[in-house]
Amino acid sequence: MGNDAAHGRCTVQPVHLTCTGAIFSIAHTVLGYTSFFVALTLCLSLHYRRVVKNHVAGYPDEWWPSVSATVGDWFPERNVFQIMCAATSGFRFVMVALLGALTFHYGRPLGGASLVMAGLLRTIACGGWIFITSSDHALTHDVAMGAYLALTPVWMALCLSQLRPPPGSPLCDAHRRAQSLRAMSATLFYACTPLMVYFYLAHRRDRIPGMYTYYSLLEWSLVFFDMLFDAASAQDLQALAIQVLDAPPAVVPAVAPAARAPARPSAARVWGWVMSQTFLAWTAWSALFALISMIFYFSVSNMAAEGLELLVVAQALGLAITACSPLQRCFQSSTPHSIRHVQPWRAGALWVLSLATVASYALSDAVARLVINALSCAVLAVLSAVDWSHAWEAARISETATIWLVGLIAAVVSRYANHANIPIWAYLDASNGGRHISALALAALCVVPMFVPSLCELPDVHVRRMPTSIPHAWCRFIIAAGAMGVWLCEVQTFLSDAGTVISYGWTGYPVRGPMAISHGVWVITAMALGTAISLMAPRTGASYGAMALHAAGMTLLLRLDNWASFAGGLLVAVTLPWMFAPLLQSAQAHHPLRVMSAAWFVMSLLAFLGVLTTAYAFLPGAYFMREHTVALTLVQTLVLFAGVVAARTAPEAQRLVPGHDARARTVRCALHTLLALLVVVASLVPAWRHVDARTIQPHHPGDRIVTAGIWTVHFGFDQHMRDSSRRMSSVLKDLELDIVGLLETDLHRPAFGNRDLTQWLAQELQIYADLGPSPKKHTWGAVLLSKFPIINSTHHLLPSPHGELAPAIHAVLDIYGVPTHVIVSHNGQEEDPLDRELQTTELARLLREAYPHPAIFLGYVVTKPHAPRPNPYDILFRDGRLHDVDATDMDRWCQYLGFRGLHRLGYARVSRYTVTDTELQTFKLQMPAEASERDPDHDLRPRLLPAGMMPVADWAYPLSFVKPGRRVNETHRYAPYALPRYYGLPEAPAPEPAP
pLDDT at 374 over 80: yes
In a domain, 722, yes or no: yes
Q: In the structure, what pLDDT confidence band is assigned to residue 321 with cuts at 50, 70 and 90?
A: very high
pTM above 0.95, yes or no: no
**Domain of residue 281, residue span:** 267-688
What does the alpha-carbon distance between residue 584 and residue 534 come to, in Å, rounded to a whole number?
Answer: 12
More confident of the two residues 474 and 980: 980
pLDDT (average), residues 747-761: 94
What does the alpha-carbon distance between residue 53 and residue 45 come to, in Å, rounded to a whole number?
Answer: 15
Least confident of 13-17, 74-78, 238-242, 596-600: 13-17
Q: What percent of the chain has pLDDT over 90?
A: 56
Residue 736 and residue 654 in one domain: no
* Residues paired with residue 739 on neighbouring β-strands, in sequence order: 708, 786
Quote the pLDDT of residue 214: 84
Residue 575 and residue 483 in one domain: yes
Residue 659 and residue 714 in one domain: no
Among 185, 198, 121, residue whose Cα is nearest residue 154: 121
In a domain, 71, yes or no: yes
Residue 642 and residue 722 in one domain: no
Single-letter code of the amino acid located at 844: A
Q: In the structure, what pLDDT confidence band is assigned to residue 651 with cuts at 50, 70 and 90?
A: low
Contacts of 474 (CB under 8 A, 6+ apart): none
More confident of the two residues 68 and 680: 680
In a domain, 2, yes or no: no
What does the alpha-carbon distance between residue 806 and residue 799 come to, in Å, rounded to a whole number?
Answer: 7
Q: What is the DSSP string of 68-128?
A: HHHHHSSTTHHHHHHHHHHHHHHHHHHHHHHHHHHHHHTT-HHHHHHHHHHHHHHHHHHHH
* Residues paired with residue 925 on neighbouring β-strands, in sequence order: 706, 904
What does the alpha-carbon distance between residue 531 and residue 875 come to, in Å, rounded to a whole number?
Answer: 55
Q: In the structure, what pLDDT confidence band is assigned to residue 6 with cuts at 50, 70 and 90?
A: very low
Q: In the structure, what pLDDT confidence band is assigned to residue 206 with cuts at 50, 70 and 90?
A: confident
Residue 651 and residue 716 in one domain: no
Q: In the structure, what pLDDT confidence band is assigned to residue 8 with cuts at 50, 70 and 90?
A: very low
Among 86, 10, 85, 80, residue whose Cα is nearest residue 45: 80
More confident of the two residues 245 and 875: 875
Quote the pLDDT of residue 444: 93
Whichever domain contains 282, its CATH number is 1.20.1250
Cα end-to-end span (Å), the chain: 153
Helix (H) or strand (E) holding 825: strand 818-826
Least confident of 55-59, 250-254, 814-818: 250-254
Quote the pLDDT of residue 332: 82
pLDDT (average), residues 445-474: 74
pLDDT at 781 over 80: yes
pLDDT (average), residues 457-464: 70
Whichever domain contains 940, its CATH number is 3.60.10.10
Least confident of 479-488, 616-625, 752-761, 971-980: 616-625
In a domain, 990, yes or no: no
Q: Helix, strand, coil proportions of the chain in percent (round to 5)?
A: 55, 10, 35
Residue 854 · residue 903 · CB < 8 Å: no
CA 605 to chain centre: 13
What does the alpha-carbon distance between residue 333 and residue 347 come to, in Å, rounded to a whole number?
Answer: 15
Q: In the structure, what pLDDT confidence band is assigned to residue 250 with cuts at 50, 70 and 90?
A: very low
In a domain, 769, yes or no: yes
Residue 479 and residue 623 in one domain: yes
More confident of the two residues 481 and 23: 481
pLDDT (average), residues 2-7: 42
Residue 541 and residue 394 in one domain: yes
Quote the pLDDT of residue 467: 52
Contacts of 130 (CB under 8 A, 6+ apart): 71, 72, 81, 82, 85
Residue 574 and residue 461 in one domain: yes
Quote the pLDDT of residue 210: 81
Residue 658 · residue 535 · CB < 8 Å: yes
For residue 262, the SS3 value is coil
What does the alpha-carbon distance between residue 549 and residue 490 come to, in Å, rounded to a whole number?
Answer: 15
794 φ, ψ (degrees, to nearest 5):
-125, 135
H-assigned helices in 802-951: 833-850, 872-874
Residue 703 · residue 734 · CB < 8 Å: no
In a domain, 131, yes or no: yes
For residue 823, the SS3 value is strand
What tens digit of pLDDT does each residue of 26-61 get? 888 888 888 888 888 888 877 777 788 877 788 877
Q: What percent of the chain has pLDDT over 70?
A: 91
pLDDT at 259 over 70: no
16 φ, ψ (degrees, to nearest 5):
-90, -25
* Residues paired with residue 742 on neighbouring β-strands, in sequence order: 711, 783
Quote the pLDDT of residue 675: 97
Least confident of 14-23, 165-174, 267-276, 943-952: 14-23
Other CB atoms within a 10 A radius of the CB of residue 449 amount to: 20
Residue 681 and residue 772 in one domain: no
Least confident of 72-86, 543-557, 698-712, 802-816: 72-86
pLDDT (average), residues 745-764: 94
What does the alpha-carbon distance between residue 928 and residue 223 come to, in Å, rounded to a whole number?
Answer: 72
> Angle, nearest 10°, between helix axes 267-302 and 473-494?
80
Least confident of 9-18, 160-169, 928-937: 9-18
pLDDT (average), residues 593-618: 91
What does the alpha-carbon distance between residue 705 and residue 724 come to, in Å, rounded to a whole number?
Answer: 28
Q: In the structure, what pLDDT confidence band is assigned to residue 282 with cuts at 50, 70 and 90?
A: very high
Residue 238 and residue 298 in one domain: no
pLDDT at 464 over 80: no
For residue 466, the SS3 value is coil
Mean pLDDT over each residue of the chain, to the nearest integer: 87
Last residue of a domain, one of 688, 708, 729: 688
pLDDT (average), residues 621-628: 84
Q: In the structure, what pLDDT confidence band is assigned to residue 787 with cuts at 50, 70 and 90?
A: very high
Quote the pLDDT of residue 308: 85
Last residue of a domain, one of 646, 672, 688: 688
Number of separate domains in the chain: 3
Least confident of 199-203, 250-254, 294-298, 326-330: 250-254
In a domain, 764, yes or no: yes
Residue 663 and residue 713 in one domain: no
Q: In the structure, what pLDDT confidence band is assigned to residue 73 with cuts at 50, 70 and 90?
A: low
Least confident of 137-141, 354-358, 532-536, 797-801: 137-141
pLDDT (average), residues 280-287: 97
Quote the pLDDT of residue 545: 94
Beta 981-984 vs 903-910: how paired, if at all?
Answer: antiparallel
Residue 670 and residue 543 in one domain: yes
Last residue of a domain, one of 245, 278, 305: 245
In a domain, 603, yes or no: yes
pLDDT at 819 over 90: yes
Among 993, 995, 954, 960, residue whose Cα is nearest residue 979: 960
